[in-house]
Structure 1
Amino acid sequence: MKNFALIGAAGYIAPRHMRAIKDTGNKLSVAYDVNDSVGIIDSISPQSEFFTEFERFLEHAHQLKRQSSTALDYVSVCSPNYLHHAHIAAGLRLGCDVICEKPLVPTPDLLDELARIEQETGRRVFNILQLRHHDAILKLREKVAAAPKDTKFDVELTYITSRGKWYAESWKGDPRRAFGVATNIGVHFYDMLHFVFGKLQRNVVHHSGEANAAGYLEYERARVRWFLSIDANDLPDEAKGKKSTFRNIDISGEQLEFSEGFTDLHTTSYRELLAGHGYGLADARHCIETVDVIRSATPVRGEAGEVHPFVQGRRG
């Protein structure tokens, strides 16, 4: 049984990590968050220590090191995007391996810095890339691998997840802390596209706004038109007033259905990681490089056939 600490216990994704720790037969020893709305711990790991001040959390973690039976083995990081690097570094320097949510860090330079800290501490960083464990994604990857090598699939990716006014007031709505909509809600998909279709060859942005973004990605085995949004006004007519999220991935005329099967992907990720099959810094680099380019790119008009239909009339 391994001892875990959790940073960012009040966040949306934290309960999935708590359950994954429990379901893999391990112990959540201590949790930390500046917010104290963490009652979910009672139903998963009520014996866990909890702190709202990082200094007290860090001191407790150091005290746990005095005995091998209580010393922390892993730190799981679910904090806001802009704090990931600092919290990962702290976990490594505690002598722990670190498991972190996406996006791991915003830039390749910070990935390089984490690699240096890995070398200094002898510990490792792992990224949760749960779509790589989804059955539908794995079957698609097999299909692509089995297709003739000169086949390039035409992909249209549309993801709209409506957010209310609270979003703009939270860290998620601040580009300095969340790094923009393409990074915050798109990094999962960019990793999935690389995992399925290979290396990225072109990365063009057609639209970039506070609430939505769009562009074109060309991989070894696919041409991808993408559109991401948190604005309910972008929902297609058939979805407006009926649901707040619209997810569609069209692959050469066939719909990829993967709306189900997400429930246990974090537990699967933990189980694979603990068995020695985790995704480290090198695995995360591709999607970090992708979002880094998207954030800094100047939107262009786009060539025929490369512009997502939702972008017509609003490029720039």
Structure 2
Amino acid sequence: MSKNFALIGAAGYIAPRHMKAIKETGNTLVAALDKYDGIGIMDSHFPQAHFFTEFERFDRFVDKFHRENDKKIEYIAIASPNYLHDSHIRFALKSGAHAICEKPLVLNPHNIDQLKIIEEETGKKVYTILQLRLHDSIIALKNKIAAEIEADPTKIYDLDLTYLTSRGKWYFVSWKGDEAKSGGIASNIGVHFFDMLSWIFGPIEENIVHIKQADTNAGYMKLKNARVRWFLSVNYEYIPDDVKANGKTTYRSITVNGDEFEFSEGFTDLHTTSYKHILEGGGFGLDEARNSIEIVSAIRKLSPIGLNGNYHPFCEKI
């Protein structure tokens, strides 16, 4: 049975994946909102969808749609700037719809506590896109690690997480370059990796930041069953030379006890997989999101200690 969706944040980088997921799961996008109106991408997915550049008119449409139609908008997808997620989730729930929100779900753990109350008041659910939990290679790694930890609960793994995704000068002029709006580098490009690692290796026990710059964050965290050195950056200069030589502008690497864990493929359809998971009665909610939100919120508040202790090797590039 086809369900009706609305989308908040239709012009951003990630919005087409939500449109594609809505279409590929056999559902309908009824209305979309974005203050930017250059959204020709909608013609490839839902050209008949109503479109608004003002929240007030979008709000009125959603309210009228519920009152004047037998159908309802069952889900509102949220791909707006990070700092607006909390407000837009609240709008979705209070409008009688479930919310499907991009990562990071919110910027701080206390937002999750308030959303749980609104879930109870409205009877609607909040879902977040934690697509790495649905990646075949990562599921296989989790199963492998779980079996090894069951055999030896004291086992500790050593991991290096390196994620470099080049961004131009526009990044720092946009909301993504404003920590108050994006949450900073760790929240904006690292939150789903931190979720994946804590999902596999257990909750965080220690959190240290070595470097905190506008384009780079690096640090160390102790999880229940892992020691993790991590390096996140949007600076092209830090990408390894052999990767640059191949014309690539992104570098993603996770090593587990010195062995490279390969998961570079299989990302294309994970939003569609996430939507199927939600529509089939699964999905990841507020409780699943909490671990990673607590991690990135703490990173935002921590002062960097410099190149001391167990730091990531890429820190020496700076």
In the superposition, the TM-score normalised over structure 2's length comes to: 0.95
Deviation of 1:157 after TM superposition, in Å, equals 0.6
1:290 CA displacement: 0.2
> 1:233 deviation in Å?
1.4
| Residues 222-233 of structure 1 aligned to structure 2 (within 5 Å) | 222-233=226-237
Distance 1:256 1:138 in 2: 12
**Residue 108 (structure 1) shift:** 0.7
Match of 1:299 among 304, 309, 313: 304
Matches within 5 A, 1:125-274: 125-147=126-148, 148-241=152-245, 242-274=247-279
Say which SS state the counterpart of residue 255 (structure 2) adopts: strand
Return 5+ residue gaps in structure 2 as ranges. none
Q: 2:312 aligns with which of 299, 304, 308?
A: 308
276-285 or 115-124: bigger deviation: 115-124
How far 1:43 sits from its partner (Å)? 1.1
List per-residue Cα deviations over 1:228-275 (Å, max 9, x = no partner): 000111112222353211111111121111111011101111111111
Instruction: Give, in angstroms, the shift of residue 195 of structure 1.
Output: 1.2
Paired amino acid for 1:89:
R
Specify the code of the residue in structure 2 equivalent to 1:300: I
1: CA distance, partners of 2:214 / 2:101: 25
Q: Which residue of 2 aligns with 1:282?
A: 287
- Structure 1 unpaired stretches of 5+: none
Describe the SS at the equivalent of 2:73.
coil
What letter matches 1:265 in structure 2?
A: L
Q: CA deviation at 1:112?
A: 1.0
Q: Distance in 1 between matches of 2:24 and 2:218?
A: 38
The residue number in structure 1 matching 2:102 is 101
Q: Report the CA distance between 1:278 and its aligned residue.
A: 0.9
State the 1:59 CA deviation: 0.3
SS of residue matched to 1:192:
helix
> 1:27 Cα deviation (Å)?
0.8
Paired residue type of 1:165: K
SS of 2:86's equivalent in the other structure is: helix
Q: State the alpha-carbon separation in 2 of the partners of residues 173 and 195 from structure 1.
A: 28
Q: Which residue does 1:88 correspond to in 2? A: 89
Conserved 8 A contact 2:211-2:304: yes
Give 2:257's aligned amino acid. Answer: S
**What are the superposed Cα offsets for residues 135-158 of structure 1, whole Å, 9 maximum, x if unpaired?**
110010011011132221110011
Shift of 1:67: 4.6
Q: Distance in 1 between matches of 2:261 and 2:94?
A: 42
Distance 2:135 2:259 in 1: 18
Q: Between Structure 1 and Structure 2, how many residues are aligned?
A: 313
CA distance in 2: counterparts of 1:69 and 1:171, whole angstroms: 39
Corresponding residue SS for 1:167:
helix
Name the counterpart of 1:112. 113
Q: Determine the C-alpha separation between the residues in 2 that align with 1:98 and 1:132.
A: 19
- Of stretches 61-70 and 175-184 in structure 1, the one that deviates more from structure 2 is 61-70
Aligned partner of residue 110 in structure 2, secondary structure = helix
CA distance in 1 between counterparts of 2:284 and 2:248 reads 33
Query: In structure 2, what is the Cα distance between the partners aligned to 1:58 and 1:173?
Result: 29
State the TM-score, normalized to the length of structure 1.
0.96
State the secondary structure of the residue aligned to 2:243.
coil
Give, in whole Å, the separation in 1 of the partners of 2:114 and 2:284: 17
